[in-house]
Amino acid sequence: MLHTDTLPAAPVSGSFLHAFSRGLLLFSVVLTGALSLSWTILLPRFTQFAVGDFTFTVREMAANESALRAQLQTMEAERIRLVLPFQDALFSVLKQEKYAVPSLNEVRREVRHAAVRAQTGDAVVLQEMTFDASQRRVQVTGDVRGAGASSMTVLAAFLGEVERLSFVEKMEHPPFSRIDDPEIGVHSPFRFSFSLTPLFR
Amino acid sequence: MRLLSRCSRLRCAPLLSLSVLFLTLSFLLLSAHAQAVASMRRTGLPAALRLRQIEARASVLREQNDAAELQAALRTGTEEEILRISVLPDEPALDRLLATLDLVFSHLQDLAVLREFPTVTVGEARERSAGGSEWQSVPVTFTVAATEEGVDILFAFLRTAGMLTVSDLLSPEDISRLLTLTEDQNPAAITALEEFLSVDLLRFAVSPRPYQDQLLGALSAPLFAQELTAMLDLPSRRSGLALLHDLAPALRERHLWPVRFLSVADARMEGVSDPWMTASFTLEAAGRTPHQR
């Protein structure tokens, strides 16, 4: 009974499996073939772009973009060369140096305005300003007078205003001191320096 | 398990294995398709748009360069000659330099912004080099007692000393900006801009209006006019042009134009808060080295 129960089922199940395997193989081969054809023929056609008279793939486009950008830069440089009345290497270098040197008078004016903004009245007396073009460095010497015991506070407020000026790159703070002079009263002399930002004209 | 062993017995196992292999291949191809489409949407489309813009810009630049080249061919080359003789001479030419300073100090005295005529000291020439160029630099020092206005005028003079044309007054960034504006508004106007930049600075200082109007005739957009005016209206440029305007007759009469190239090496101002301050300058008068003759 055992034999008669199991043996008739075997051929039905075997032929189904065989047919299923053959069908699955056929489907997978056709699918792979179709996708391969799409990959080699269809996809490149649909992922290309026509720019001007040329057609690029995505990869080619990235390379072309950088090449075209470089070409643009060359053309821009050529345009500047053509538009200027003449070319002289030495003159260009000297002009560049000149453009880089700021107007010390403008610096002086701004430092004086900073003293006014610090609401110090005329307590801040600017005595000397020196400017070193090669170092792009300005040194300011002066004194805070007539502010009584708050002369050091006035000086700190003034320095804060100077430090906030757009062209001040780095500032070296002076030592703060308060001197009681029998002639001029309580005063705070100062000497500080700052470097100018490269963009300041 | 029983099904598999039966499958093995029926020889369908190789068929199934092959199917799995092809299906895996299909899956890989499918994901590659998805990636390609995603990459096209993510990078391809924006890049295509950028490429079109770059192509269009390159075409405009080509046209502008062709037009500018034609205009440049008409130049006589006199500016280079003037530059060699007057601005960057290959000899000390101290007479011209001192005559120019004399003229400026006299002008300051006429305006009552300079207390007394300063003593000018001229030092030994020394060689300098930067940016692949070599030149001779003659140190010139003087100290003046002047008002704020007087010092302003002196700085304005030093700013313009050595400038030949309008292009020298503007910075390279300004010129690039003007070129970009012509490109956006009227590419053909590059020739008008080229002519404007070549105008002699002294002539421009004396009468800027006709030259500006000529340029604005070709580029009438308000933005261009606005930016050009802002560039020329910078305090340092405005005061430099005003000074040249005042000095023009004397500079022409004494054949002192164009002025020798001068730059500030260092400056010191004392009595900064006082009405009259003492300002000391060390200038460098540039010239070509003998072997550049």
Q: What share of chain B is helix, strand, coil (3-state, %, to 5)?
A: 65, 15, 20
Average per-residue pLDDT in chain B? 89
Q: Which residue among A51, A93, A133 sits closest to B133, beta carbon to beta carbon?
A: A93
CB contact under 8 A, B37 and A65: no
pLDDT at B4: 60
Provide the pairing of β-strand A168-172 with A179-181: unpaired
pLDDT at A2: 46
Tens of pLDDT, residue by residue over A148-197, are 888 898 899 999 999 999 889 999 988 888 888 888 888 999 999 999 88
pLDDT at A91: 92
pLDDT at A1: 44
Q: Which residue among A72, A80, A126 sits closest to B272, beta carbon to beta carbon?
A: A126
Q: Per-residue pLDDT for A117 more than 90?
A: no
DSSP string covering B154-197, please? HHHHHHHTT--BHHHHS-HHHHHHHHHHHHHH-GGGHHHHHHHH
Cα–Cα distances in angstroms (integers) from residue B193 to residues A56, A150, B64, B65, B82, in the given order: 37, 58, 11, 13, 22
pLDDT at A122: 79
CB contact under 8 A, A52 and B55: yes
Look-up of token digits 């320096």: A193
pLDDT at A98: 84
Cα(B253)–Cα(B215) distance, integer angstroms: 29
Is A79 at the interface with chain B, CB within 8 A?
Answer: yes
Cα(B261)–Cα(B259) distance, integer angstroms: 6
Query: How is residue B147 annotated by DSSP?
Result: E
Nearest CA in chain A to B21: A28
Please count the other Cβ atoms lying within 10 Å of the Cβ belonging to residue B258. Answer: 23
Can you point out the beta strands (E) in A82-153? 124-132, 137-145
Nearest CA in chain B to A19: B12
pLDDT at B142: 96
CB contact under 8 A, B88 and A91: yes
Does the pTM surpass 0.80? The reply is no
pLDDT at A21: 86
Radius of gyration, CA atoms only, chain B:
34
Look-up of token digits 């039966």: B6
pLDDT at B192: 93
pLDDT at B6: 65
Report domain extents, chain B. Answer: 2-70, 78-164+258-292, 167-235
Residue A4: pLDDT band by 50, 70, 90 thresholds? very low
Phi then psi for residue B39, to 5 deg, are: -65, -35
Is A40 at the interface with chain B, CB within 8 A?
Answer: no
Is the bond preceding residue B258 a cis peptide, omega within 30 degrees? yes
Tens of pLDDT, residue by residue over B54-103, are 888 999 999 999 988 888 887 777 778 888 888 999 887 889 999 999 99
Q: Is the ipTM of this complex over 0.85?
A: no
Closest CA to B274 of B183, B152, B146: B146
Bridge partners, residue A130, by sequence: A139, B268
pLDDT at B168: 92
Structure tokens at B170: 């503007």
Please count the other Cβ atoms lying within 10 Å of the Cβ belonging to residue A59. Answer: 12
Cβ neighbors of A62 (< 8 A, separation 6 or more) are B43, B47
Cα–Cα distances in angstroms (integers) from residue B174 to residues A83, B160, B166, B232, B234, in the given order: 13, 16, 11, 10, 12
Pick the CATH number of B78-164+258-292 from 3.40.50.150, 3.40.630.30, 3.30.70.60, 3.40.50.300: 3.30.70.60
Q: Which residue among A32, A69, A128 sits closest to B22, beta carbon to beta carbon?
A: A32
- pLDDT by 10s per residue, chain B, length 293: 566 666 666 677 888 889 999 999 999 999 999 988 888 888 888 888 888 888 889 999 999 999 888 888 877 777 788 888 889 998 878 899 999 999 999 999 999 999 988 999 999 989 988 888 889 999 999 999 999 889 989 998 998 999 999 999 998 889 999 999 999 889 999 999 999 999 999 999 999 999 999 999 988 889 999 999 999 998 888 989 999 999 999 999 999 999 999 999 889 988 877 889 999 999 999 998 876 55
Determine contact, residues B135/B129, Cβ cutoff 8 Å: yes
